[in-house]
Chain A
Amino acid sequence: MRAKYVLSEVMVGLWRNVTMTIAMIITMAVSLTMLGASLVLYHQVGVMKKTFLSNVQVSIFLTTTVTVPEQQELNQKISSDSRVASVQFLDKEASFELFKQEFANDPALVESISKDQVPQSFRLKLKDPNQVSQIKSTYDGLPGIDQVIDQASVLKRVFKVLGALQGLALTLAIAQGVAALLLVANTIQVAAYSKRREVAVMKLVGASNWFIQSPFVLEAMFAGAIGAVLAFGGLIAAKFFLIDGSLSALTTLLGEVKWSTIYFMFPLLLAAGALVSGFTGWVTLRAYIKR
């Protein structure tokens, strides 16, 4: 009986303020989609950082006037450096081949450069990619070294942009979320007001607080859950039409967005939607009923 009562009250409540309910569900869905998208982005940036950093190379370019003893001494120093995982030496031949490859679409430049003008280099892989700057300070300025270039400092700028994007998406999600929660609070107050007679009688005859509150809280949770389902649909659509569709070029940068990552968002969004709005409804009602 009581379950039936509570459930019918939920449905009646949702239907009575149907415009408000729809507004609540839409805002909830939009903010949860943003939240889901920013979580996916967050995850992808993490994955990407890991792959990029593990492949990161430090290139030590030698001066064109480097002497053989200088070069041998450097070779010894680098090979015995405990921070270096592996090292490859590119001599004049190899460096020139690489140069020709890299600038294959600019034959004029390739023509104008002779083999002797291309610097030789050591290509290092590090055990811990985060030690790039220490490596740099060790070798920078040693005799025979022209410059030390690490890809990480270039990547850092890319990560900065991505980090800003992450922050933006999260901020938007939070702002939307606050709007959604205020709507939930408002809807619940309207619902409670439209049932103020029933609530007054229930308090009078000693109905327990949870019994008075549960239809309203469930109403909020229901709207939150519907919002989460819509948001999940939004993420699937985004994966289908954007990530795998018109924006598929981005996957080279961001790495592949796996379906499992998308699926994993569902329980998160559902929990966030239902629990947070249910909690908001509960807090709102406590304040309302106490009066």
Chain B
Amino acid sequence: MIQLENVTKTYPKAARPSLDSVSVSIDKGDFVFFIGPSGSGKSTIVKLLLHEIAASRGRVVVNGKDVSTLRSWRIPHFRRSIGCVFQDFRLLPTRTAYENVAFALEVIGKTQAVARRVVPEVLELVGLGGKEHRYPHELSGGEQQRVAVARAFVNRPLILLADEPTGNLDPDTSIEIMRLLDRINRTGTTVVMVTHDSNIVNQMRRRVVEIEGGKIVRDQPRGVYG
């Protein structure tokens, strides 16, 4: 599903590469944690997978497509197969939970009829049934992140990328979000999560890839944090 082959990424003007000849392979349906200290290169991986940036060397293959050969006008379509969740939720403050999720459908050309059918379903799935018409500021942090997960998942992507999704949440709420991601993973969606939340990694006992100084220093099938 995802292959990085000897991927090196050096940002312009940077003294050393953020990722240094990294190779990792993720199968369909996997649940993988990328861990490591700040600046280790974890988030660079997310950006590479979304093709927000291009690798300096090496191949990035997502869904069987070599991302580096993707024409720029194909990128939007390519991104529809990847759902994304971030630490800061990235919801639109002037839209309700329902409208935030529906917006993601409408801007890729789905009709309102489709939205009316699919959005309540996915909001129910993330546990926000009955709160469809609340605005983000009327929801707790955990609930906002659920809206973001619903938005990421509403298109049934093959891959869900989560970049420190629990970074702004308290431990209990974080666990709830993790249960949600776990449930999504069980539908067959590959989940890639970047985090430095040791608690969560230790509880989940999933594959752990540790990065330090741009290199993979550990890759364990049922790992713990550090």
Are B90 and A208 closer than 8 Å at their CB atoms?
Answer: no
Are B90 and A204 closer than 8 Å at their CB atoms?
Answer: yes
Question: Chain A's nearest CB lies how many Å from the CB of B178?
Answer: 22
Residue from B77, B92, B155 within 8 A of A201 (CB atoms): B92
CB of A107 within 8 Å of the partner chain: no
Q: Enumerate chain B residues within 8 angstroms of A207, measured Cβ to Cβ.
A: 76, 107-108
Question: Chain B's nearest CB lies how many Å from the CB of A270?
Answer: 29
Candidate in B84, B104, B107, B112 with the most chain A CB atoms within 10 angstroms: B107
Interface size of B in residues (CB-CB distance below 8 Å): 20
Question: Chain A's nearest CB lies how many Å from the CB of B72?
Answer: 8
Q: How far is the CA of A203 from the CA of B86 in the complex (A)?
A: 14
Question: Chain B's nearest CB lies how many Å from the CB of A145?
Answer: 75
With known contacts A205-B151, A205-B155, A206-B79, A1–B106 Cβ distance under 8 A: yes
Are B108 and A1 closer than 8 Å at their CB atoms?
Answer: no
Question: Chain B's nearest CB lies how many Å from the CB of A200?
Answer: 7
With known contacts A1-B106, A1-B111, A1-B112, A205–B90 Cβ distance under 8 A: no
Q: Enumerate chain A residues within 8 angstroms of B107, measured Cβ to Cβ.
A: 5, 201-202, 205, 207, 211-212
Q: Enumerate chain B residues within 8 angstroms of A209, measured Cβ to Cβ.
A: 73, 76
Q: Enumerate chain B residues within 8 angstroms of A206, measured Cβ to Cβ.
A: 76-80, 108
Type the 1/0 row for B81-97, where 1 means its CB is closer than 8 Å to any CB of A: 00010000010110000
Are A197 and B111 closer than 8 Å at their CB atoms?
Answer: no
Question: Chain A's nearest CB lies how many Å from the CB of B138?
Answer: 18
Type the 1/0 row for A128-153, where 1 means its CB is closer than 8 Å to any CB of B: 00000000000000000000000000
Q: How far is the CA of A211 from the CA of B106 in the complex (A)?
A: 11
Q: How large is the interface on A (under 10, 10 to 19, 20 to 34, 35 or more residues)?
A: 10 to 19
A201-245 residues with Cβ-Cβ distance < 8 A to B are 201-209, 211-212
Are A197 and B90 closer than 8 Å at their CB atoms?
Answer: yes
Are B92 and A208 closer than 8 Å at their CB atoms?
Answer: no
Residue from B93, B108, B111 within 8 A of A205 (CB atoms): B108
Are B90 and A201 closer than 8 Å at their CB atoms?
Answer: yes
CB of A2 within 8 Å of the partner chain: yes
B168-226 residues with Cβ-Cβ distance < 8 A to A are none
Residue of A nearest to B86 (CB): A204
Residue of B nearest to A205 (CB): B104
Are A5 and B106 closer than 8 Å at their CB atoms?
Answer: yes
Q: How far is the CA of A200 from the CA of B93 in the complex (A)?
A: 13
With known contacts A1-B111, A1-B112, A197-B92, A204–B79 Cβ distance under 8 A: yes
Type the 1/0 row for B101-135, where 1 means its CB is closer than 8 Å to any CB of A: 00110111101100000000000000000000000
Q: How far is the CA of A202 from the CA of B109 in the complex (A)?
A: 11
Are B76 and A208 closer than 8 Å at their CB atoms?
Answer: yes
Candidate in A1, A5, A206, A212 with the most chain B CB atoms within 10 angstroms: A206
Q: Enumerate chain A residues within 8 angstroms of B103, measured Cβ to Cβ.
A: 198, 201
Candidate in A201, A209, A211 with the most chain B CB atoms within 10 angstroms: A201
Are A200 and B90 closer than 8 Å at their CB atoms?
Answer: yes
Kindly list 16 other residue pairs between chains A and B, CB separation below 8 angstroms, not including A201-B92, A203-B76: A1-B106, A1-B111, A1-B112, A5-B106, A197-B92, A197-B93, A198-B103, A201-B90, A201-B103, A201-B107, A204-B79, A205-B108, A205-B155, A206-B108, A208-B76, A209-B73
